[in-house]
Amino acid sequence: MRAVSAVLLALFVSACAAPGPGHPSGEPFDPYEKSNRKVHEFNRGLDKTLIRPASRGYSSFLPDDIETMVGRFAFNLSLPGAIVNNILQGNPRGVGNDTFRFLVNSTVGLGGFFDVATDMGMAEPTEADFGETLYVWGVREGAYVELPVLGPATERSAWGKVVDVFTNPLSYVIDTPESYYATGAAVSARLSDRGRFSDTIDSVLYESADSYAQSRSLYLQNRRFELGKGRDGAYVEAYQDPYGAPETGLEDPYDQVYEDPYDE
């Protein structure tokens, strides 16, 4: 496991580019902007013709309570992957919290359809991912990229998404066709999120003067804030500006105003 982790770390460190000495401090590092904008236009077109109409139809068809239960089910199935990442991050508090939450909601909560863990007063889930794990390991952010369908990311988080496909233990123990239930629930949850935050997402994609720059700014600020504040304060205490000195006491500039439309 250590050897595999070392190889992965070496690959990711070498893959993530860094801004040159002439790059303005605090400015987005976006050397792939030309191709990113083409992908962004593709994503906008896909959202306009397929995802947005599908999310509206999905939300209109399903009662709110059922929609919420499907989202809880999908999220509960993602928790084993978060547990693995908490182990890799050396975060025992997150491991314990997410493990107990998964066990309670998978049993008493009937597979996660009911969030009994929260009703019992358990702490919020960590939602740890491998992009966050790389951050904890000291891997640099790299350049900004926009991925087809998946949307905004950085090189670090993009590689993290690839590894996350393999970090959830459930993917190795659930056989088909049961494994398709998890995939279907995850897609349904994404459609539900698109419908729930429709006004905010539409304002960014279709009403802003430059939807690409707006999406990039929102994603980078939210992602950096989430990484900098830590999931439970276990491993970082300050927001780390990758282009400048650490800053403390920052508040999320989009808290309760914008929700990240492409949350990782």
Q: Give the span between the Cα atoms of 237 and 148, in whole angstroms.
A: 33
At residue 175, the pLDDT reads 76
The tens digit of pLDDT for each residue in 66-84 reads 999 999 999 999 999 999 9
pLDDT at residue 256 tops 60: no
Contact 93, 229 (CB under 8 A): no
> What token pair was written down for 236?
């970082």
Give mean pLDDT, residues 30-50. 97
pLDDT at residue 32 tops 80: yes
At residue 25, the pLDDT reads 67
The tens digit of pLDDT for each residue in 137-178 reads 999 999 999 999 999 999 999 999 999 988 889 888 877 777
Residues 6+ apart with CB under 8 A from 109: 72, 76, 115, 116, 117
Mean pLDDT of the chain: 83
At residue 111, the pLDDT reads 93
Residues 6+ apart with CB under 8 A from 181: none
> What token pair was written down for 223?
């992602």
Q: Place 37 in a pLDDT band, splitting at 50, 70 and 90.
A: very high
Burial class, 261, CB count within 10 angstroms (exposed 0-12 / middle 13-18 / buried 19+): buried
Backbone angles phi, psi at 145, to 5 degrees: -140, 150
Task: Mark 173-198 as b/e (b = at least 16 C-beta within 10 Å).
Answer: eeeeeeeeebeebbebbbbbbbbbbe
pLDDT at residue 263 tops 90: no
Backbone angles phi, psi at 23, to 5 degrees: -75, 130
Q: Give the span between the Cα atoms of 127 and 132, in whole angstroms.
A: 10
What is the pTM assigned to this prediction?
0.80
Task: Mark 105-135 as b/e (b = at least 16 C-beta within 10 Å).
Answer: bbeebeebbbbbbbeeebbebbbbbbbbbbb
The tens digit of pLDDT for each residue in 99-138 reads 999 999 999 999 999 999 999 999 999 999 999 999 999 9
H or E, element range at 147 = strand 144-147
